[in-house]
């Protein structure tokens, strides 16, 4: 049995930027490529108002390490592994002292955000899908197509999963069998943390976390960043570009980011919690722009699952965010806040923007 395995690491387009001649204390560019959280990351600090670009870069790299240590499901000491290995409580029993699992406060924060995204997306975003992700090999790259019964059984575990979060005391009580993956939200959270460092030092920086981009530094109205959206059909090129204010995350989810092929069919990593199978979406990619990168990340994953119709409705109701939906029909649908859109590939057509 020969299985073709393909992993595509998303390079979310190109970014061009223009600087004004502000009073920066350091104008030296400092850049670093690192591999963390299963992704190639690139951080570039262009200038700072406080400290040096090198210092800010080093602080950011250190932060990446701290967050990876908490959320990496494949590292035995991470909080995610602690959660997944914890026995949990049978659903009909009341929790006792040993059912409490104490976690780092950042993990508690991300679990709370995930919970909000779960309810806020009509359950399209669900971190408890780990048993299903394991069946497909999306946890460790050991890909395979599971049989329908196995998917059904794993999905039953997901349906029964629960995590009660005790925010003040920083512990959780989980149900037996609950296993989580923060793959759909952790990089968004990391981006927010890196932006916070940049803001503290008045730094202009560009953070690329494979599919997630963080634009650090607001260059004012006439000096926006230009962001390219990857062409899902040809990931080395762009579908479109647009102009964007700084201090925002731009997060893209798409089937092309990670998938394998088997028996002439392609299976991607974004799972529909209703079926346990890769979402049969009529979208090629979803890009979400906003100040809260954590939620941008959760929403981009969830809207991909929802598909075009529900995603457009969701976009209309969430005017704190901007959205770019690329459909299988080769349409590019944007919300009205996405400005100066330039079509970079004639194979796509720009559709009238969605009013929010
Ligand atoms: P993203 O690249 O942000 O869209 O996240 C995709 C990753 O999130 C996958 O590789 C899985 O680890 C995880 N995931 C897959 N499907 C879902 C889902 N429906 N809800 C939450 N996380 C998911
Ligand atoms: Mg996501």
- Tens of pLDDT, residue by residue over 87-108, are 998 866 677 889 999 999 999 9
CA atoms of 232 and 283, how far apart (whole Å)? 10
- 332 with 230: CB under 8 angstroms? no
Q: Which atom of ligand 1 is nearest to the CA of 305?
A: 19
Tens-binned pLDDT, residue by residue, of the chain (356 aa): 233 222 222 334 445 444 554 577 888 999 999 999 989 999 999 999 999 999 999 999 999 999 999 999 888 999 999 999 999 988 666 778 899 999 999 999 999 999 999 999 999 999 999 999 999 999 999 999 999 999 999 999 999 999 999 999 999 999 999 999 999 999 999 999 999 999 999 999 999 998 899 999 976 555 799 999 999 999 999 999 999 999 999 999 999 999 999 999 999 999 999 999 999 999 999 999 999 999 999 999 999 999 999 999 999 999 999 999 999 999 999 999 999 999 999 999 999 889 99
pTM here? 0.93
- What pLDDT, on a 0 to 100 scale, did the predictor assign at position 251? 98
Pocket probe for ligand 1: among 183, 280, 325, the residue whose CB has the most ligand atoms within 8 Å is: 183
Q: Which of the ligands is closest to the CA of residue 269?
A: 1
- What pLDDT, on a 0 to 100 scale, did the predictor assign at position 95? 76
Cα 190 to ligand 1 centroid, rounded to whole Å = 16
CA atoms of 347 and 349, how far apart (whole Å)? 7
The protein residue whose alpha carbon is closest to atom 22 in ligand 1 is 184
The protein residue whose alpha carbon is closest to atom 12 in ligand 1 is 183
- What pLDDT, on a 0 to 100 scale, did the predictor assign at position 141? 94
- What pLDDT, on a 0 to 100 scale, did the predictor assign at position 220? 52
Pocket probe for ligand 1: among 84, 127, 140, 270, the residue whose CB has the most ligand atoms within 8 Å is: 270
- What pLDDT, on a 0 to 100 scale, did the predictor assign at position 8? 27
- What pLDDT, on a 0 to 100 scale, did the predictor assign at position 139? 94
Tokens encoding 203: 């730094």
**Separation in Å, CA 202 to CA 49, 161, 223:** 5, 43, 16
CA atoms of 321 and 31, how far apart (whole Å)? 29
- 16 with 224: CB under 8 angstroms? no
Helix intervals (H) in the chain: 53-71, 79-85, 105-120, 130-136, 148-160, 186-200, 293-306, 308-317
The helix (run of H) or strand (run of E) holding residue 244 is strand 238-244
- What pLDDT, on a 0 to 100 scale, did the predictor assign at position 22? 57
Q: Which atom of ligand 1 is nearest to the CA of 257?
A: 2
- What pLDDT, on a 0 to 100 scale, did the predictor assign at position 7? 27
Q: Which atom of ligand 1 is nearest to the CA of 254?
A: 4
Exposure on the CB side of residue 164, measured as CA atoms within 13 A: 13
- What pLDDT, on a 0 to 100 scale, did the predictor assign at position 19? 53
């Amino acid at each position: 049995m020969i299985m073709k395995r393909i992993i595509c690491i998303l390079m979310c387009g190109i970014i061009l930027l223009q600087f004004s001649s502000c009073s920066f204390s350091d104008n030296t560019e400092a850049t670093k490529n690192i591999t963390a959280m299963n992704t190639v990351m690139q951080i570039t600090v262009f200038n700072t108002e406080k400290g040096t670009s090198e210092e800010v870069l080093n602080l950011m790299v250190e932060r990446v390490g701290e967050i990876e240590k908490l959320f990496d499901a494949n590292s035995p000491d991470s909080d995610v592994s602690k959660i997944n290995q914890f026995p949990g409580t049978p659903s009909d029993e009341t929790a006792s002292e040993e059912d409490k699992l104490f976690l780092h406060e950042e993990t508690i924060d991300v679990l709370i955000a995930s919970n909000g995204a779960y309810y806020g997306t009509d359950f399209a975003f669900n971190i408890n899908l780990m048993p299903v992700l394991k069946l497909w090999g999306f946890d460790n790259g050991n890909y395979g197509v599971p049989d329908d019964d196995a998917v059904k059984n794993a999905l039953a575990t997901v349906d029964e999963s629960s995590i009660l979060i005790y925010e003040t005391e920083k512990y959780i009580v989980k149900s037996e069998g609950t296993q989580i993956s923060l793959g759909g939200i952790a990089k968004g959270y990391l981006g927010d943390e890196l932006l916070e460092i940049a803001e503290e030092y008045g730094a202009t920086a560009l953070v690329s976390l494979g599919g997630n981009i963080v634009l650090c530094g607001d260059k004012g109205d006439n000096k926006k960043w230009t962001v390219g959206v990857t062409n899902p059909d040809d990931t080395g090129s762009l579908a479109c570009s647009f102009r964007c204010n700084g201090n925002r995350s731009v997060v893209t989810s798409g089937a092309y980011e990670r998938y394998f092929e088997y028996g002439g069919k392609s299976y991607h990593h974004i799972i529909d919690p209703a079926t346990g199978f890769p979402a049969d979406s009529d979208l090629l990619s979803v890009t979400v722009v906003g100040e809260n990168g954590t939620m941008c990340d959760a929403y981009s994953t969830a809207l991909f699952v929802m598909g075009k119709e529900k995603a457009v409705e969701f976009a209309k109701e969430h005017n704190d965010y901007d959205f770019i939906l690329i459909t299988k029909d080769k349409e590019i649908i944007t919300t009205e806040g996405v400005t100066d859109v330039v079509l970079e590939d004639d194979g796509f057509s720009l559709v009238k923007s969605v009013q929010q």
